[in-house]
Chains A and B, each alone.
Chain A
Amino acid sequence: MSQVERQQWDVVVIGAGGAGLRAAIEAREQGLRTAVICKSLFGKAHTVMAEGGIAASMGNVNDGDNWQVHFRDTLRGGKFLNQWRMAELHAQEAPDRVWELETWGALFDRTGDGRISQRNFGGHEYPRLAHVGDRTGLELIRTLQQKVVSLQQEDATELGDHEGRLKVFQECTVTRVIKEPGDGGRVAGVFGYDRESGRFFVLEAPSVVIATGGIGKSFKVTSNSWEYTGDGHALALLAGAPLLNMEFVQFHPTGMVWPPSVKGILVTESVRGDGGVLRNSEGKRFMFDYIPDVFKEKYAQSEDEGDRWYEDPDNNRRPPELLPRDEVARAINAEVKAGRGSPHGGVFLDVSTRMSADVIRRRLPSMYHQFKELADVDITAEAMEVGPTCHYVMGGIAVDSDTAAAVAVPGLYAAGEVAGGMHGSNRLGGNSLSDLLVFGRRAGLHAARYAAGLERRPVLDEEAIDAAAAEALRPFSAEGPAPGEEDGRPPENPYTLHQELQQSMNDLVGIIRRDGEMRQALQRLVELRQRARRAGVEGHRQFNPGWHLALDLRNMLLVSECIARSALERTESRGGHTREDFPVMDRSWRRANLVCRLADPAAARADLEDPEPVRGQIRLERVETEPIRPDLLALFEKEELVKYLAEEELYE
């Protein structure tokens, strides 16, 4: 073995979405030789799906906005579980990151006086989201991509080689972060394969930035793309770094449920804001039955009053369709479970009976086209079918707030959705794109500084490389007998395993969680993990999607176990985590972070058979967070803090 191609780089970035590219640009601008590895083609990252905008308190539309207000909104949205230093840095640096994009050629929508226009969004006190129509994510990716090209053009002039200092390895997958030999070693490089040829490669580098995005593909109904298999989460775990608060998964209440090809794709919140109503199969506006007591005073009690609100919001209360995301998602879920769902397992979201066709086409152009082109549904004439969809994971790799360095593994960094802490228990719309830029840059900067400051390059653990190669090849030789089974049992189909995993997570650790179901989920994960070890594939290594999926299963199973274990442990409901058996937020949980680690790092050597598959791979630990800095706490009213903070925190 070890006949794999090797290259030496200073910084390796895994992932070429917003965070990965921003990190790579920063590391290259620090003068370090930087490699970016991504599973798709360069420029296809899931970041392009972001529609709303980039939250940054530039104050272009309302000059009352500043970073303190943004910080406050972010903490409220995250129910005070946010890593507060991250939220602070994020609010402070977001405007600079947006302005910087303009110098790289980005073209945002403009205000009347030629500045960047900003729009309102849920949870943001002022109009704050820099945007380009409803394709802000595409603009972000394209701008970063073109900045990379621009740097490569500079390098071509200077060095005669476009890829001399910054190279994108597209359509490559990293399966292992390789460290130095021995315990507690530093990062030394990554092991991966080229999807096109199937060839293995090792990039040696003292710094590795993980920016792989989310985990949505572990759930059946998701707005996420195939790439979101939790690779970065798993890579970090396997390298010995802990994950934080993995129970917090954001479900958006309205995703498309039909046709199957677009199941999970988002239906923007403004459909409801502009007058869309939710009905069940009996034609009833069921949201009136789901107004929780705490909101009774703020929401309309009758359809008449709700209807009047759109015209006269000062004298009427808003309709219950506009309750917070989690409330709406829960209500839809309950209606479907009670057998009052739409033909394809959602509920009806209707604008056609309330607005004229012209108004709908003018105010909701992208939704009109989305349904027209993808579902052949004319939303000016008929209702949409919608249901909750897995959208974002707030949890992720535990990082140092200032440097984005992963805990416990020198040389490992993480930024973007794969990093945890920034958004607490729930993310505000628009805070994702700014998170990518702020912490992408920080990760690139500190990864570069770390690499530049080393006296000698780390040495690769050769055994680990051999093991990684054996692990990656295993699906091709899965035809043997299973341990303890009779001979000749056929290998498992990775597609089937994936579907079963998605169904289990959706059903048992989905939007509403119960103790018994999550225990059941953990049982199923054990079974799936055993079967996944026998996932086999046909054909050869060249662009073989079955093989790729078989390898991704390991990551999805690891991440799924983290989610299920953490969700079982947290006996309260907060943000993106809803327990039917513990329906309220518990102040005593505010300071508690749940940290996932690999139970037995030695057993994670995947070329070895799992000695005790039933035991599970994840060890959970409850860690108390650092108190919020007093000057940041002072940004809030005392009455508000009482709702979130535990007694002892208030008196500190």
Chain B
Amino acid sequence: MATGTEPDLKSTGGVRGPARASIAAPHLRTDRWWLPPAATAAGLLAFVVYSSWRAFSDADYYAAPYVSPFYSPCLAESCAPMKAGPNWELVGSWWPLSPALIILIFPLGFRLTCYYYRKAYYRGFWASPPACAVAEPHRTYSGETRFPLILQNLHRYFFYAAMLVAVVLSWDTILAFRDEHYDWGHMGLGTLVFLVNIVLIWAYTLSCHSCRHIVGGKLKHFSKHPVRYRMWQWVGRLNDRHMLLAWASLVSVAVADLYVYLVASGVFDDPRFF
């Protein structure tokens, strides 16, 4: 009857623990609760399979003037030469693998530690929890309190890196206003694909929770920082659509790569608008 009694910490077993209402079923949901996590898992899996194939293939990633976003910037000596393109041979000739693997670490790390994707794969792949109020299969749980998941706190550094990558991809998009002979002032279907992609990449990157925190969320008094308050509100509006942007940019980056692949491997020629 008093407001505070110590919780019983010894018993285990979650919803089927001894003190809880004795109900055998791990959950009583009647809706198709498994559908969202299954769809999420399938979508992420498809991207992982596709991107692994493309990243390891080390081929068909450049069709002037387009460079696949998976290979940009291209930091190894083995990279295909791209005129005015993102060729920076920071890593020497010793790098034996696909140059995509060097740079993909950063966007991958950004998405892996992203607050939305964390939710998506904790639910979809790790069933922790599979869905709300559906018992999870694990016996113990320590969340993000220890290694390795405590590293999720590094999200903001991947955010900084992802910003740099986005700058390079923006440059690539500008370069896409050339034709295959590197003459400026042209535009093809690929340019449009790149434009859409870079807008979504920026929108996703800037809608990041870390970004929201850095531009203004960390402040105690918005009233003393009107410009940052404005920026915080603006990022907040993007942040409302973080999940949508996460998926849209994931699809668009894959489509941009696929487009370059199709043109580079000669499946079709890039239709030119002008």
Contact = CB atoms under 8 A, between A and B. Distances in A.
The finding on whether chains A and B are genuine partners in a shared complex, rather than unrelated, reads yes
A169 B1 contact: yes
Interface string B216-246: 0000000000000000000000000000000
Nearest to B4: A162
A180 interface: no
Interface residues of B, number: 4
Interface in A167-208: 167-172, 194-197
A42 B3 contact: yes
Interface string A197-221: 1000000000000000000000000
B94 to A, nearest CB: 61
A195 B3 CA distance: 14
A400 interface: no
B21 interface: no
A327 interface: no
A269 interface: no
Contacts of B3: 42, 163, 167-168, 170
B2 interface: yes
A42 B3 CA distance: 7
Contacts of B2: 163, 167-170
A194 B2 CA distance: 10
Interface in B115-165: none
Contacts of B4: 162-163
Nearest to A148: B3
A45 to B, nearest CB: 14
A171 B3 CA distance: 9
Contacts, number: 20
B96 to A, nearest CB: 60
Contacts of A167: 2-3
Interface string A32-52: 000000000010000000000
A163 B1 CA distance: 12
Interface in B84-137: none
Interface in A594-652: none
B31 to A, nearest CB: 20
B225 to A, nearest CB: 16
A275 to B, nearest CB: 32
Nearest to A162: B4
A490 B1 CA distance: 33
A194 B3 CA distance: 13
Nearest to A145: B3
A542 to B, nearest CB: 12
Contacts of A168: 2-3
Interface string B1-40: 1111000000000000000000000000000000000000
A276 B15 CA distance: 49
A42 B1 CA distance: 10
Interface in A151-173: 162-163, 167-172
Nearest to B223: A114
Contacts of A197: 1
A194 B1 CA distance: 6
A169 B3 CA distance: 7
A170 B1 CA distance: 5
Nearest to A168: B3
B145 to A, nearest CB: 25
A162 B4 CA distance: 9
A167 B2 CA distance: 7
Contacts of B1: 169-172, 194-197
Contacts of A162: 4
A515 to B, nearest CB: 47
A195 B1 CA distance: 8
B249 to A, nearest CB: 32
Contacts of A195: 1
Interface in A441-488: none
Residue of B1, B2, B4 ringed by the most chain A CB atoms within 10 A: B1
B7 to A, nearest CB: 15
Contacts of A172: 1
Contacts of A171: 1
A197 B1 CA distance: 8
A122 to B, nearest CB: 33
A620 B4 CA distance: 45
A294 to B, nearest CB: 50
A338 B32 CA distance: 51
Nearest to A5: B1
Nearest to A193: B1
A158 B4 CA distance: 18
A541 to B, nearest CB: 13
A606 B241 CA distance: 64
B229 to A, nearest CB: 15
A350 to B, nearest CB: 34
A196 B2 CA distance: 11
A169 B5 CA distance: 12
Contacts of A42: 3
A28 to B, nearest CB: 14
B224 to A, nearest CB: 12
Interface string B53-91: 000000000000000000000000000000000000000
Nearest to A192: B1
Contacts of A170: 1-3
18 contacts: A42-B3, A162-B4, A163-B2, A163-B3, A163-B4, A167-B2, A167-B3, A168-B2, A168-B3, A169-B1, A169-B2, A170-B2, A170-B3, A172-B1, A194-B1, A195-B1, A196-B1, A197-B1
Interface of A: 42, 162-163, 167-172, 194-197
- Chain A to chain B: the 4 pairs with minimum beta-carbon distance, closest first: A194-B1, A168-B3, A42-B3, A169-B1
Given A167-B2, A194-B1, A195-B1, 17 more contacts: A42-B3, A162-B4, A163-B2, A163-B3, A163-B4, A167-B3, A168-B2, A168-B3, A169-B1, A169-B2, A170-B1, A170-B2, A170-B3, A171-B1, A172-B1, A196-B1, A197-B1
